[in-house]
Amino acid sequence: MAWVREPNNIVPIMTSNTTPRGVAFASSEGAANVAAAAYNNNLGTAWYPKQSPLTPPPWKLGYEFVEPARIYGYTILSWILVGWAPKNWTFEGWTGTAWKVLHTRTNITAWSTTTPNRYLFTNTEKYLKYQLNVTASNTTNTLWICKLEMLGDPLPEPTANLLIPQAIGCF
């Protein structure tokens, strides 16, 4: 029997766009809602594009790892209003010279403000940077993302000897 493990969010909890490691980035940021707000594990904050003047789409939110990583899924949690959630987007990896589209979603209208939407895709390559490239939101001309997780390789499968109980004299 093979062990199946859930992919892990491999972006650290960010306290600023560069702390504790890597770089959270966005195409634009609101006055107090920087890119790191989507990675800070605080559901009371969110990243959103600059509002005054309004930044039109596309809106981009991403993370640069310290070393290349293989991402094959992500979760998105919108904030407060479903109308502020993404509707059309691509999830992309940076090749070193261009963004490569890894996953595309269109007309996504089913959102909750308490449960993230989760997306898995096939990816065999490691990239240094990944980004969500949103071209439209639902019913509004802005976007708010409370949480963006990037899902990477799970822990390795345990070896057979770890699954066998060992008698150590505590009977």
Looking at the domain assignment, is residue 162 inside a domain?
no
Q: What's the pLDDT at 30?
A: 78
Q: What's the pLDDT at 102?
A: 99
- Only one residue has tokens 């057979």, namely 160
Q: Is the pLDDT of residue 154 over 80?
A: no
Structure tokens belonging to residue 31: 């006055």
Mean pLDDT of the chain: 86
Q: Of 53-57, 69-73, 102-106, 135-139, which range is least confident?
A: 53-57
Q: What's the pLDDT at 52?
A: 66
Q: What is the CATH number of the domain that holds 63?
A: 2.60.120.260
Beta-strand runs (E) in the chain = 8-9, 23-26, 59-69, 71-78, 86-94, 99-105, 117-120, 127-137, 145-152
Looking at the domain assignment, is residue 161 inside a domain?
no
Q: Of 2-6, 92-96, 120-124, which range is least confident?
A: 2-6
Question: Tens digit of pLDDT for each residue in 17-27?
Answer: 999 999 999 99
For residues 59 and 50, give the distance between their C-alpha atoms in angstroms, rounded to a whole number.
Answer: 10
Q: Is the pLDDT of residue 167 over 50?
A: no
Q: Is the pLDDT of residue 109 over 70?
A: yes
Q: Of 79-83, 136-140, 142-146, which range is least confident?
A: 79-83
Q: What's the pLDDT at 5?
A: 54
pLDDT band at 55 (very low <50, low <70, confident <90, very high): confident
Looking at the domain assignment, is residue 131 inside a domain?
yes
Looking at the domain assignment, is residue 31 inside a domain?
yes
Q: Is the pLDDT of residue 161 over 50?
A: no
Looking at the domain assignment, is residue 19 inside a domain?
yes
Looking at the domain assignment, is residue 167 inside a domain?
no
Looking at the domain assignment, is residue 163 inside a domain?
no
Q: In terms of Cα–Cα distance, which of 125, 129, 123, 154 is closest to 22?
A: 129
Structure tokens belonging to residue 26: 């966005």
Looking at the domain assignment, is residue 15 inside a domain?
yes
Q: Is the pLDDT of residue 170 over 70?
A: no
- Only one residue has tokens 């999830």, namely 91
Query: What is the domain count for the chain?
Result: 1
Range of the domain at 79: 8-154
Q: Is the pLDDT of residue 120 over 80?
A: yes
Handedness of CA 122, 97, 75, 9 (dihedral sign): positive
